[in-house]
A and B are shown apart, each in its own frame.
Chain A
């Protein structure tokens, strides 16, 4: 039995050790407290709403979010805007629809069921407008980067003067946390860039945290129910395991082997 635990624990260490061997270059990211980490982690609702504001007012002019719909903004476990707020948000966008009965395309105000409107028609257009670099779609961006939220949080605050002697082309910027330190996105955040409705001061740090929280939700919209269900499932399994353990002891009590 002790042996068994040793095997399991050893194997887990090995599995996770392999995993960390993947992420070869280790950088120290900026640290902050994320409310959604841990066994009971939940999103900070206000932070998600502010993060959405940063996304629409700043990032959405370049970055799409093609897997999200306006209805998601009102769903449980997300920013939880009221249905009316979400409808109003959707209606503030022009959506291309059609063809109508005359065979023409037309635009209309957005509905809850519409996907987030894309800033560019296609990847080529996005590249053309950004000096050849494609601003990646943000729906799963947090999961698509090894460092996850810490990386994105740091990246947004990682703009610095390039070290002496480093030559940067036009439209390329130095960022401490970017792979290879060269990024084709200029520094997007500056203190007071947005005006938060809830009176929070919009420092660069605050905006980075809010928008990153929002991106985390966008990538894992069911994170809260996952954590809730996980806790219940594991408690259930532990109770069952204990019960089965005692039944096993009872059943084996007539046999002189240790179990």
Chain B
């Protein structure tokens, strides 16, 4: 951290700060030099923090009224919806908040992919991010089980059963996870405990994520290292605070629209039917944000290999800083990478779509091609691209593209103004 020394003005402040430098921390956070050319893709970090806190606060209130018991969970959620004051509001914020959280995290991740934010010296930020993302998926899956509807029950059955693919010990692990011979009350109570715990683990990791960020500082759309503080940076407060606040408010308008006007559109109708081990729903589908991985899982004919493929699809991201061999960070100056980037985006969207469809016929074929391409992108295209690609000239400072001083930038600027 490249901060200047900070001394509190008041005597008490100084006394306290010498013993616990909270004021130094606050001063670091407000003065934190931020590249002034950050675009709105960069506002999603703040939005994600808001989402996490929203989930924690609404979750705490829900937990006061929710009963984690197989015979009472569904009833208690209906009790929250009907009789708890503003219970419907709290629950709809929590349920839709999970979707908004994932929407934001996907934008945040694809931002990093576009601008090369995962590259040196930001690998640790990136890897912590991947762990957060994994924990988010776990939290959301566990939370979805709690209302104990048909999709809760059958989703839990399908996902926990994946562990049975592990050779020799698989069946034993599944029984251990369930706390019995099927998804039942013991499963529900432990899922509730873990669902309660994981968001606080995420909170801790978010602190580390931001700490790790404040060591090298933010990446930026040009993707070059900058002097801090300098004419290329602005202090976090008030410049970035107000900009993040503005973006957050727009995000909240969308969020509010879902909560107040279409609160159930992102959920599955079957989850309003109480769990029934004797009746299997026609289609068992996970929440929309897990669909791409579900598609990868189902596209492999062998169960164990399917599970491995699904896990690798996420873990491969952790190796990305080393798979991408290009020295240039921002896709703005990488004409070929830019095209592969958008193909990858399309590929993931296609995977999500086929994940919602039955795994047969044409859908299965598409899922297989898209799965193969996903891995080819990371394992073949990215490593080779770094050596083969002819990148565009990169400016020396971010003031240059902003002020339009450098002639060798003209080409890149005209084509890609909108990404800067």
Q: Which residues of A contact B (CB under 8 A)?
A: 1-4, 7-8, 11-12, 14-19, 21-22, 24, 39, 67, 72, 136, 139-140, 143-146, 148, 179, 219, 221-222, 226-227, 229-231, 233-234, 237-238, 240-241, 244-245, 247-248, 251-252, 255-257, 259
Q: How far is A251 from B261 in the complex, measured between Cα atoms in Å?
A: 35
| Chain A nearest CB, measured from B313 CB (Å) | 18
Is B266's CB under 8 angstroms from A19's CB? Answer: yes
Q: Which of B40, B75, B256 contacts A1 (CB 8 A)?
A: B40
Contacts of B106 in A (CB 8 A): 11
Is A18's CB under 8 angstroms from B269's CB? Answer: no
Contact with A along B34-51 (1 / 0, CB 8 A): 001101110100000000
Is B242's CB under 8 angstroms from A140's CB? Answer: no
For residue A244, which residue of chain B has the nearest CB? B246
Is B256's CB under 8 angstroms from A256's CB? Answer: no
Q: Which of A15, A24, A39, A72 contacts B288 (CB 8 A)?
A: A15
| 17 pairs of residues in contact across A and B, judged by CB atoms under 8 Å | A3-B419, A7-B41, A8-B254, A15-B103, A16-B265, A67-B75, A146-B269, A221-B82, A222-B88, A226-B89, A227-B260, A230-B260, A231-B260, A244-B249, A248-B243, A251-B239, A257-B37
Contacts of A143 in B (CB 8 A): 264, 269, 272
Q: Does B343 contact A (CB under 8 A)?
A: no
Q: Which of A18, A234, A259 contacts B291 (CB 8 A)?
A: A18
Q: How far is A253 from B88 in the complex, measured between Cα atoms in Å?
A: 43
Q: Which of B89, B247, B349 contacts A229 (CB 8 A)?
A: B89
Q: Which of B261, B264, B402 contacts A230 (CB 8 A)?
A: B261
Q: Does B133 contact A (CB under 8 A)?
A: no
| Chain B nearest CB, measured from A178 CB (Å) | 13
Stretch from B118-126, B190-198, B321-329, B352-360 that touches the partner: B352-360
Is B253's CB under 8 angstroms from A234's CB? Answer: yes
Is A21's CB under 8 angstroms from B37's CB? Answer: no
The B interface, classified by DSSP as helix, strand, loop or mixed, is: helix
Q: Does B317 contact A (CB under 8 A)?
A: no
Q: Which of A2, A8, A21, A234 contacts B260 (CB 8 A)?
A: A234
Is B36's CB under 8 angstroms from A3's CB? Answer: no
| Chain A nearest CB, measured from B144 CB (Å) | 15
Is B288's CB under 8 angstroms from A19's CB? Answer: yes
Contacts of B253 in A (CB 8 A): 234, 237-238, 241
Q: How far is A198 from B203 in the complex, measured between Cα atoms in Å?
A: 58
| Chain A nearest CB, measured from B49 CB (Å) | 17
Given known pairs A12-B254, A15-B99, A143-B269, the reply for A233 and B352 (CB within 8 Å) is no
Contacts of B78 in A (CB 8 A): 67, 139-140
Q: Does B362 contact A (CB under 8 A)?
A: no
Q: How far is A244 from B358 in the complex, measured between Cα atoms in Å?
A: 46
| Chain B nearest CB, measured from A145 CB (Å) | 6
Contacts of A251 in B (CB 8 A): 238-239, 242
Contacts of A145 in B (CB 8 A): 269
Interface size on B, residues (CB 8 A): 60
Contacts of B171 in A (CB 8 A): none
Q: How far is A67 from B80 in the complex, measured between Cα atoms in Å?
A: 11
Is B88's CB under 8 angstroms from A18's CB? Answer: no
For residue B418, which residue of chain A has the nearest CB? A3
Contacts of B107 in A (CB 8 A): 7, 11
For residue A3, which residue of chain B has the nearest CB? B418
Q: Does B224 contact A (CB under 8 A)?
A: no
Q: Does B414 contact A (CB under 8 A)?
A: no
| Chain A nearest CB, measured from B365 CB (Å) | 17
Q: Which of A2, A136, A227, A233 contacts B256 (CB 8 A)?
A: A233
Among B245, B249, B268, B349, the one with the most A-chain Cβ atoms within 10 Å of its Cβ is: B249
Contacts of B243 in A (CB 8 A): 248, 252, 259
Contacts of B356 in A (CB 8 A): 18, 21-22
| Chain A nearest CB, measured from B140 CB (Å) | 14
Q: Does B169 contact A (CB under 8 A)?
A: no
Is A19's CB under 8 angstroms from B265's CB? Answer: yes
Q: How far is A227 from B256 in the complex, measured between Cα atoms in Å?
A: 11
Q: How far is A39 from B352 in the complex, measured between Cα atoms in Å?
A: 30
Is B40's CB under 8 angstroms from A4's CB? Answer: yes
Among A139, A148, A221, A244, the one with the most B-chain Cβ atoms within 10 Å of its Cβ is: A244
Contact with A along B301-339 (1 / 0, CB 8 A): 000000000000000000000000000000000000000
For residue B35, which residue of chain A has the nearest CB? A257
Is A3's CB under 8 angstroms from B39's CB? Answer: yes
Is A8's CB under 8 angstroms from B291's CB? Answer: no
The 3 closest A-B pairs by CB, nearest first: A230-B260, A4-B40, A144-B272
Q: Does B390 contact A (CB under 8 A)?
A: no
Q: How far is A15 from B245 in the complex, measured between Cα atoms in Å?
A: 24
For residue A223, which residue of chain B has the nearest CB? B88
Q: How far is A234 from B253 in the complex, measured between Cα atoms in Å?
A: 6
Q: How far is A221 from B87 in the complex, measured between Cα atoms in Å?
A: 12
Given known pairs A16-B265, A226-B88, A229-B260, the reply for A252 and B239 (CB within 8 Å) is yes
